[in-house]
Amino acid sequence: HVSASVGGVRCGGGCGVYLAFIPREDAPLMPITFVGEADADLAVVNLPVFTVGDAAVVLAFRNNSATPPSLPAGWTSIASNGSSGVSYRTGYRVLQSGDLTTSTWTNATSIVVVVLTGNSSTPIGTTAEGSGISTSMSFTTVALQDSGGTSWVILEGAHGTATDTNSVALAGTTNRASGVSTAIAAHTAENVTAWPTTAKTVNTSSRYFTRSVEILAAGVSVLSGNITCRGVQMGILRGAR
């Protein structure tokens, strides 16, 4: 049997195992909110006005090579890929004082950045890629690391030839694309408990790439493992983020 004690959980029956008790915070310290978006047919854009600690996620697209754009110093790569003469790289940064731009993602022909606040200091949860040669751009399902309804999913993408990638809606999301680059898609799904694969149709067929990126809220603990004591399985929670 399992008996609670002050500051922890003791496994009864004489096994002598004592586990520190880490309370789950079912609500974030503050909810995630949208700060801003910028996109352009360039390799760098200015950041929207932000607060130190906000999360910025970039998708940099290259429309003339299957070799992805370079990752700037100070940014962390999420993923990259290339095929059929186009490529992309996605990365993130927890923004700091003095940040003004995305820095240059060398060889990118288009770029998009989405900035959120209320995120964890380690903001990236689960991510997934979509890709194909089609008029249908698929934003792939992610098995959320935190399915309690506090995460957001940033959905960014780019298409090799379509000219309405920025303006076509994606079901279940808010369109964040400014429209400066018609090659770029930027959406957010807010406070989700799941993100299923969802597609939108653009006006021509060629190679596209998308990335679905879960952003974790500050102050929410997530299950990170378990321990079994005398047949009783107990979840281990990570501390507040």
Question: In which element (H, E) is residue 153 found?
Answer: strand 151-159
Which positions ≥6 away from 174 have C-beta within 8 Å? 34, 187, 188, 189, 190
pLDDT single digits (tens) 132-184: 999 999 999 999 999 999 999 999 999 999 999 999 999 999 999 999 999 99
Whether this prediction's pTM lies above 0.85 is answered by no
Which positions ≥6 away from 191 have C-beta within 8 Å? 31, 32, 149, 150, 151, 152
- Whole-angstrom distance, CA of residue 8 vs CA of residue 17: 10
Sign of CA dihedral 118, 55, 81, 43: positive
74 near 98, Cβ under 8 Å?
no
